[in-house]
Structure 1
Amino acid sequence: MKNKGLWLSIGVFAVLAVVFVFTDWRISQALYNAEAGWAHFMEIYGQLPGAFVGFIGGSVLLALFKFQKTFKSIAGGIGLFLLTFLASAMFWLDALGAQGGETNAPLALLLGLVMLILAVVLLKRLPNDKLASMKPAAQVAFALLFLAGIITVWAVKIPWGRWTYRDILDAGNTALFTPWYLPQGNNGHHSFFSGHTAMAFSVLPLILFLKKDHPARNILLAVLLLWGLIGAMSRIVVGAHFASDVLFGAGETLLWFFLLSKWFKADA
């Protein structure tokens, strides 16, 4: 059944990828609304939940980490701390308005450090078996944030060089529009993939913190998928991405989620 669902998802993704080759521009024309307050809110604050879920994952791993007097242990502990601190700082940078042009890096770093310390202290108060049972879900959450939300997105964004809908409108030259399958090189434009969409779907590991037979699990999954879809739609509405951009941003995140859940033997 799971394999059927996987192949069905791949089929739907492939069909939409082809459809959006011909409909990207028209979809953006129909949905674009520069005055949509909800979409601008999502642009500024929509990445917060994804960053927070990844941060929680890193905090759980830090609380479980056993330091030893070996180079591997010390280096691993420092690396884990720095990446978790980065996730915390990312959260606070966006919370303080970085996506809207308001940057207060010193305060974000301070709040990020305080939140990290508090999270680890509180998590260490949990029973050892309870904390240990959270490890697979935490590993998926932490890895998904960086692999799907940052590394994969920017590995494609930079060389692809696709213009956003609103940048094309500002330039007044519709000839700048290109279909998603044609990379333009590193030209400073970063429409493809959508990082906000990837971050919106990076909340999915939350379901892994619940047992498979938990009555609230399916409801939570529906809520998390809805959040991802709202995040994706908001990017089209504000003109920051085309439909294909958000499709691939969501698709790569869902793929990473599936692979990481298998790798870490999380109960996905």
Structure 2
Amino acid sequence: MKNKALWISVTVFVLLAVIFAFTDWQISQALYDPESGWAHFLEGYGQLPGSFLGFLSGSILLRTYRVEKNTKSILGVIGLFLLTAFAGLGFFGDAFGLQTGAEVNFAVVIGVAILTLILGQVILRRFPLETVSQYKNAAKVGLTLMFVAGFVTVWAIKIPWGRWTYRDILDAGNTALFTPWYLPQGNNGHHSFISGHTALSFVVIGFILFLKKGSNARNILLPVLLLWGIVGALSRVVIGAHFASDTLFGAGQTLLWFWFLKNKFVQ
């Protein structure tokens, strides 16, 4: 059953990739609405749940980390702290309006992130280590998924692909700048392919691992999280920040990483 679902997902992905190769421009023409309030809201704040997953996961891993008196262990906890703090910066930076163009005091963002991280450790230490450790493997997936799918993979593809966004093409007044998703243009400063916002929107799927497998709560939450990702992807097309294929591949690589990490860390 699992293999069947996997192959169905892969087939749907491939079909959409082929369809979008020929319809990206027409889809953007049909959906483009630069004044869309809900799409702009998600542009500013839609990455918050994904960043929070990374922050929560990192906090759990810090609580369960056993520091030993050797260089490897000490460097490990320092690295984990920095990754968790970075996730916190991403969360609170967006919460303070960084993605909306608001003037953000980075000192305040850093301070709030560090204080919240410390407060989180205080709260987590009120629970027995055995209780928190139940979520350790889920946290490994959550933190890794946020960074690898939400940032590393996205920018490893964005930078060399050099695809123009729909709205940038309209601003330039030259439709010849449009290129299909399968033709990389090199590092030219344009980063439409793939969609980072969509990637982080789908990162939230990691939350289901904190719930018992087969539980009603998990079965209900899964479609809700997938819907969140789909709405986030749609919002990127509506405001012209990405083409449909950009969001497809942003979502696809996140779900692929989730599948791999879940199989690696969670039984």
Q: TM-score range by the shorter chain?
A: over 0.9
Q: CA–CA distance in 2 between the matches of 1:31 and 1:118?
A: 43
* Deviation by residue 1:117-155 (Cα, 9 ceiling, x = unmatched): 111111121222211110011000000000000000000
Q: CA–CA distance in 1 between the matches of 2:223 and 2:116?
A: 29
Equivalent residue number for residue 232 of structure 2:
231
Q: CA–CA distance in 2 between the matches of 1:120 and 1:213?
A: 30
Equivalent residue number for residue 219 of structure 2:
218
Q: CA–CA distance in 2 between the matches of 1:121 and 1:155?
A: 36
* Deviation by residue 1:157-177 (Cα, 9 ceiling, x = unmatched): 000000000000000000000
| Counterpart residue type for residue 28 of structure 2 | S
Equivalent residue number for residue 155 of structure 2:
154
Partner of 1:6, secondary structure, is helix
| Counterpart residue type for residue 63 of structure 1 | R
Q: CA–CA distance in 2 between the matches of 1:215 and 1:43?
A: 31
* Deviation by residue 1:48-90 (Cα, 9 ceiling, x = unmatched): 0000011100000000011111000000000000000000011
Q: Percent of aligned positions with the same letter in both sequences?
A: 63
Partner of 1:193, secondary structure, is coil
Flag structure 1 segments of 5+ consecutive residues without an equivalent.
Answer: none
Partner of 2:216, secondary structure, is coil
Equivalent residue number for residue 178 of structure 1:
179
Would you say the 8 A contact 1:47–1:196 is kept in 2?
A: yes
| Counterpart residue type for residue 122 of structure 1 | I
Partner of 1:216, secondary structure, is helix
Equivalent residue number for residue 89 of structure 2:
89
Please state if 1:11 is matched with 2:11: yes
Please state if 1:48 is matched with 2:66: no
Q: CA–CA distance in 1 between the matches of 2:113 and 2:262?
A: 27
Equivalent residue number for residue 125 of structure 1:
126
Kindly report structure 1 stretches of 4+ aligned residues shifted beyond 6 Å: none
Flag structure 2 segments of 5+ consecutive residues without an equivalent.
Answer: none
1:1-268 → structure 2 map (5 Å cutoff): 1-102=1-102, 103-264=104-265, 266-267=266-267
Q: CA–CA distance in 1 between the matches of 2:119 and 2:223?
A: 30
| Counterpart residue type for residue 178 of structure 2 | F
Q: CA–CA distance in 2 between the matches of 1:189 and 1:43?
A: 18
Would you say the 8 A contact 1:200–1:228 is kept in 2?
A: yes
Q: CA–CA distance in 1 between the matches of 2:116 and 2:50?
A: 16
Q: CA–CA distance in 1 between the matches of 2:243 and 2:145?
A: 23
* Pairwise CA distance, 1:213: 2.5
* Pairwise CA distance, 1:205: 1.0
Q: CA–CA distance in 1 between the matches of 2:227 and 2:123?
A: 30
* Pairwise CA distance, 1:100: 1.4
Q: CA–CA distance in 1 between the matches of 2:210 and 2:139?
A: 8
Give me the TM-score of the superposition, normalised by structure 1. Answer: 0.98
Would you say the 8 A contact 1:44–1:100 is kept in 2?
A: yes
Would you say the 8 A contact 1:137–1:209 is kept in 2?
A: yes
* Pairwise CA distance, 1:104: 2.1
Would you say the 8 A contact 1:93–1:104 is kept in 2?
A: no
* Deviation by residue 1:176-206 (Cα, 9 ceiling, x = unmatched): 0000000001111000000000000011111
* Pairwise CA distance, 1:17: 0.3
Partner of 1:203, secondary structure, is helix
